[in-house]
Amino acid sequence: MADAPYELVYWPGIPGRGEFVRLAFEFSGVPYVDLARVPAAEGGGAAAVTKLLESAGAGLTPFAVPALRHGERVIAHTAAILQYLAPRLALVPDDEESRLRAHQLELTITDFAAEAHDVHHPIATALYYEDQRAEALRRAPFFVSERVSKFFRYFDRALDSNPDGGGRFLVGSRRSYPDLSVFHMIAGLRYAFPRSMPAHEASFPRLVALHDAVAKEPRIAAYLASERRQGFNQHGLFRHYSELDTTEA
Amino acid sequence: MADAPYELVYWPGIPGRGEFVRLAFEFSGVPYVDLARVPAAEGGGAAAVTKLLESAGAGLTPFAVPALRHGERVIAHTAAILQYLAPRLALVPDDEESRLRAHQLELTITDFAAEAHDVHHPIATALYYEDQRAEALRRAPFFVSERVSKFFRYFDRALDSNPDGGGRFLVGSRRSYPDLSVFHMIAGLRYAFPRSMPAHEASFPRLVALHDAVAKEPRIAAYLASERRQGFNQHGLFRHYSELDTTEA
């Protein structure tokens, strides 16, 4: 198992929830296979993702992706994947307190991401945005004002409750995976809500500094400049619909 | 820490997400304090929950409850709480594969519960149901038909992928915490959607059998008959609004 390759199973064409996992690999410099980007002729592509969702083999078939395949193991749920990977990629301190802390932070990221998604899909994932636009228009102001503020306050306070972090690290005294995930949340929210984000950023300058510091980490900077980094677009978790980017709560 | 009491921090008056944790304690027979039900004069009640959400002390302040207080530790997120408790309460096998499996199942329960909640709150948790009733009426059929079926299929297949479970246990060859959580999901869905649940139950008889078997576990049966068990009502995760209990998809 230690020698087995790491395979990320996630949809092609979007950063989405898979990006939280990609960032962990990219930051740590540990090789991984992004299955959807492997040519279909070599067993990859979207068909390979669909196949896993139909049957994972002997183990638990995931409800959804991202999933991580590592040898015989298939692990689904972003926070569970990162909890599994982090000790192997040196992305979390060794002690139990730090690991409990990191997992809770990541589970809150999961909730935050789900709410960001449901802004454009408040009725059903089975419907197009255009078919639930009226409801999205009503939901957006609550998310853009109250919820983003509440989540940002949580992560900002987390900086305070980490005595070893100097206001710069969420867990311990160096980079851990929740830092990378906060980076992705902020990057995604900036894409989706360019008009309303500046006010939040002004209120939480340490989170912006955290985002910027992650972007400048050498391996992350190289990744962001590479073709491996897929741009945000209108098919993923974070989407920009001008009409939802309101500054009025 | 081993001798510290277990304290569940959750809102009074509803089973809600706290119930997944209560069931773990009740099944295992390990004593716990349900903080909200401790008299305010003794430091309990809703005010104690609010206080924790304002500041957890030295550690990470939870975004929301349930939280578990155990000595100096405060752990939030239902799935993280159960992952922490299960080895201590003998509610999961010892091996890593089983624990990964149980955690993934519980994280799927978390997602299922969030979707069940959002049926009656599709726009904002800050609004009353009555103020988002039109949107709820539109969301309900998607949940009640497609989503419930998809989640049930996932858990039913999980019975198949557990070679030691005989179709009766989700993890290993005896009762584990995901079994208890599936029990609560089904109990909640029956309360919320009495008209549409029978068809799902007919399609997934093994999940109904799992629910019934958990209800008959001696300590669970005693708990359900006790005053500690709070009934479902119109303030929690599972609510019955007749107009949302549709059989039309």
Q: Evaluate whether A171 touches A91 at the Cβ level (below 8 Å).
A: no
The CATH class for the domain spanning B96-217 reads: mainly alpha
| Residues forming CATH 3.40.30.10 domain(s) in chain A | 6-88
Q: Which residue in B131, B110, B136 sits closest to B21, CA to CA?
A: B110
CB burial string B54-84: b at 16+ within 10 A, e below: eebeebbbbbbbbbbbbeebbbbbbbbbbbb
- The answer to whether residue A171 neighbours chain B at the CB level (below 8 Å) is no
Q: Which chain A residues touch B76 with a CB distance below 8 Å?
A: 104, 107-108
Chain A residue with CA closest to B159: the answer is: A60
pLDDT at A60 exceeding the cut of 90: yes
- The answer to whether residue B144 neighbours chain A at the CB level (below 8 Å) is no
Distance from CA of A229 to the nearest CA of B (A): 27
Q: What is the pLDDT of residues A207-232, one digit of tens each?
A: 999 999 999 999 999 999 999 999 99
**Which of A95-99, B113-117, B232-236 bottoms out in mean pLDDT, i.e. has the lowest?**
B232-236
Task: Compute CA B64 distance to the chain's CA centroid, rounded to the nearest angstrom.
Answer: 15
- Cα dihedral A110, A217, A93, B51, rounded to 10, equals -50
Average pLDDT over all residues of chain A: 96
| pLDDT value at residue B58 | 82
Separation between Cα atoms, residue A238 and residue B124, nearest integer Å: 19
pLDDT band at B246 (very low <50, low <70, confident <90, very high): confident
| pLDDT value at residue A47 | 94
Q: Which chain A residues touch B95 with a CB distance below 8 Å?
A: none
The CATH H-level superfamily of B6-89 is: Glutaredoxin (3.40.30.10)
pLDDT band at A248 (very low <50, low <70, confident <90, very high): low
| pLDDT value at residue B168 | 98
| pLDDT value at residue B120 | 97
**Mean pLDDT computed over A147-173:** 97
Record: fold of A96-217+240-244: Glutathione S-transferase Yfyf (Class Pi); Chain A, domain 2 (1.20.1050)
Q: Which residues contact A90 (CB under 8 A, 6 or more apart)?
A: A28
pLDDT band at B193 (very low <50, low <70, confident <90, very high): very high
pLDDT band at A19 (very low <50, low <70, confident <90, very high): very high
| Residues forming CATH 1.20.1050.10 domain(s) in chain B | 96-217
Separation between Cα atoms, residue B89 and residue B107, nearest integer Å: 19
Average pLDDT over all residues of chain B: 96
pLDDT at A57 exceeding the cut of 90: no
pLDDT at B249 exceeding the cut of 60: no
Cross-chain Cβ contact B146/A158 below 8 Å: no
Q: Can you tell me which residue has the tokens 């929210």?
A: A189
Separation between Cα atoms, residue B76 and residue A63, nearest integer Å: 23
Q: What is the pLDDT of residues A173-195, one digit of tens each?
A: 999 999 999 999 999 999 999 99
**DSSP-derived 3-state class of residue A128:** coil
Q: Evaluate whether B24 touches B85 at the Cβ level (below 8 Å).
A: yes
| pLDDT value at residue B55 | 86
- The answer to whether residue A8 neighbours chain B at the CB level (below 8 Å) is no
Distance from CA of A235 to the nearest CA of B (A): 20
Query: How far lies A177's CA from each of A20, A67, A180, A197, B58, in Å?
Result: 8, 17, 5, 23, 21
**Mean pLDDT computed over B212-219:** 98
Q: Which chain B residues touch A122 with a CB distance below 8 Å?
A: 122-123, 135, 139
Q: Which residue in A227, A143, A158 sits closest to A189, CA to CA?
A: A143
Query: How far lies A8's CA from each of A5, A36, A40, A54, in Å?
Result: 10, 8, 15, 16
Q: What is the pLDDT of residues B54-93, one digit of tens each?
A: 987 789 999 999 999 999 999 999 999 999 999 999 999 9
| pLDDT value at residue B7 | 97
Structure tokens at A47: 């068909």
CATH tag for A6-88 (out of 3.40.30.10, 3.30.450.40, 3.40.50.11540, 3.20.20.140) = 3.40.30.10
| pLDDT value at residue B2 | 63
| Residues forming CATH 3.40.30.10 domain(s) in chain B | 6-89
Angle value at C-alpha B157, between B154 and B159, nearest 5 degrees: 115
pLDDT at B190 exceeding the cut of 60: yes
Q: Can you tell me which residue has the tokens 């990629």?
A: A89
